[in-house]
Amino acid sequence: MMAGRRARLKENERRGMDKRAGLVALAAGMLLASCMVGPKYTKPPVAAAPAYSEQPPQSYAETPGWKTANPSDAVLRGKWWEMFEDTDLNALEEQVAPANQTLKVAEANFRQARAQIQYNRSNLYPTVSVGAQINTNRISGNNPSSVGLAGEQYGAFALPISVSWEPDLWGQVRRSITSARELAQASAADLANVRLELETELAVDYFETRSLDGQKRLFDDTVVAYQKALRLTQNRYEGGIASKVEVEQAATQLQQTQAQDIELGVARAEFEHAVAVLVGRIPEGFHLVFEPLQQTPPAVPLGIPSQLLERRPDIAAAERRLAAANEQIGIAKSAFFPNLVISATGGLQAGSIVNWFSWPSRYWAAGPQIAETVFDAGRRRAALEGTQAAYDANVATYRQTSLNAFQEVEDNLSTLRILEEESAKQREATESAQASLQLSLNRYKGGLVTYLEVTTAQTTALTNARTDVDLVRRRMDASVQLIKALGGGWNTSQLPSV
């Protein structure tokens, strides 16, 4: 009799193993037969001219090593700010990446997006949970279904293990993983774009400070010249040659120029504080040494317009979000197909701790479950239309971002070209104004004119000289903005393979 019982137990075990093997085979077959629904992503085309319509400034052609015949070899590489050959600027730019807090926010956003990939990938695998339950129970004496058991107490000891797995039959999980990867790459491109913006902002603020130093030197020299002119007028007044009005005119011109000289300190302090914050420093105690701007804009390698699509981090971010939006269409389409869930539960269960871990206390249950939504009042259809509309919006954003990039390059090229021509004429105007001022002073010393002509010539000469200094600053800013418009030496090969 014992032998027959053992035979039946072995037969039951064999049948259980056959059932488990059948479930595994079913799951494997379903997984092998699975497919991904939804559109395959293709990057939409963007129209690009073979060359920029705006020609580079004439100084570019005069720069040694500058190439216009083979622009594909002329691209920004490495640390673009070193083109300006300014050691102070180089040292400041090196401090942006490790210290700027805005950049740290963008870097944390990238790490968060990267973590989402693993979160979505976990859905490819079964979920396993284990728990232990120990209860002491007493049956109610007033329970009508507990006749004869009223007041009885018993223990319940359970160690359940649950396994649940939803095969990715229609590619929903795989598309969510791909979407997360593409969004992480978009976040990495955002990080590169933030870095480029901070680096260019630092360069612009730095050159603004140096330009104000140049104006400060101009005003300091002008104040000295006006002080000499005031002494000359006072001497002529004391000699009975000039009137008191002329003395007051000279004093007014001097005092007004001194006030403007002092006013420059306000703007310089603001730009200096901005530089300090960009490099992660407290403005208090941070100081840029006095150094007037004397550089000329370097020749910035342009490349060709089609390269711009691969060199701008903001374009790359828009394109990666477009690819992620395409995956969302496939995810929305998968909702129209049935879901398969394979679950299994087993463990040990007993009424006493003595036999809790014995072999007869085992139990298990396993099987698949298929579910399909037959009516949802158009919810899935609306969700699909929403993802398709979001995709179309991302296409438009990608193309508009590309168009804006082409415009920024053309704008800064034209700005550089026009400012170079303007600077040449302005230098001539400044020289003419200085010559006119000297002639007016000579005529005043000879008694041929009043001091009013001198003050007019002084104002004209100072205005032209100040414009001359400011044009240098504007040309440097336009060069920095052109470098930013070209991507600052970045390209899509630097996107992480997440």
Q: Does 127-167+339-371 match 35-124+169-337+377-494 at the fold level? A: no
Cβ-contact 162, 343 below 8 angstroms: yes
Give, in degrees to the nearest 5, the angle at Cα 55 between 52 and 59: 140
Distance of CA 2 to CAs 9, 10, 13, 239, 391, Å? 11, 12, 17, 143, 70
pLDDT at res. 447: 87
Q: What is the pLDDT of residues 55-105, one digit of tens each?
A: 778 777 655 444 443 434 456 777 999 999 999 999 999 999 999 999 999
* CA atoms 105, 111, 113, 116: torsion sign: negative
CATH 3.30.70.890 fits 127-167+339-371, yes or no: no
What's the CATH number for 35-124+169-337+377-494?
1.20.1600.10
| pLDDT 10s digits, 437-475 | 999 999 999 889 989 999 999 999 999 999 999 999 999
User: CB 226: neighbour CB atoms within 10 A?
Assistant: 23
3-state secondary structure the chain: CHHHHHHHHHHHHHHHHHHHHHHHHHHHHHHHCCCCCCCCCCCCCCCCCCCCCCCCCHHHHHCCCCCCCCHHHCCCCCCHHHHHCCHHHHHHHCCHHHHCHHHHHHHHHHHHHHHHHHHHHHHHCCEEEECCEEEEEECCCCCCCCCCCCCCEEEEEEEEEEEEECCCCCCHHHHHHHHHHHHHHHHHHHHHHHHHHHHHHHHHHHHHHHHHHHHHHHHHHHHHHHHHHHHHHHHHHHCCCCCHHHHHHHHHHHHHHHHHHHHHHHHHHHHHHHHHHHCCCCCCCCCCCCCCCCCCCCCCCCCCHHHHHHHCHHHHHHHHHHHHHHHHHHHHHHCCCCEEEEEEEEEEEECCCCCCCCHHHEEEEEEEEEECCCCCCCHHHHHHHHHHHHHHHHHHHHHHHHHHHHHHHHHHHHHHHHHHHHHHHHHHHHHHHHHHHHHHHHHHHCCCCCHHHHHHHHHHHHHHHHHHHHHHHHHHHHHHHHHHHCCCCCCHHHCCCC
Show me where the domains of the chain are located: 35-124+169-337+377-494, 127-167+339-371
Q: What is the pLDDT of residue 49?
A: 87
Instruction: Identify the pLDDT of residue 272.
Output: 97
Mind spelling out the 3-state secondary structure of 44-111? CCCCCCCCCCCCCCHHHHHCCCCCCCCHHHCCCCCCHHHHHCCHHHHHHHCCHHHHCHHHHHHHHHHH
How far, in Å, CA of 141 to CA of 154, rounded? 14
**pLDDT (0 to 100) of residue 66:** 41
The model's pTM is 0.85
User: What pLDDT does residue 62 have?
Assistant: 56
Spans of the chain, pLDDT less than 70: 1-34, 61-75, 145-151
Do residues 345 and 130 lie in contact, with contact meaning Cβ atoms separated by under 8 Å?
Answer: no
The pLDDT of residue 137 is 83
Query: Can you read off the two tokens belonging to residue 435?
Result: 């010559």
pLDDT of residue 61: 61
How far apart, in whole angstroms, are the C-alpha atoms of residue 322 and residue 391?
6
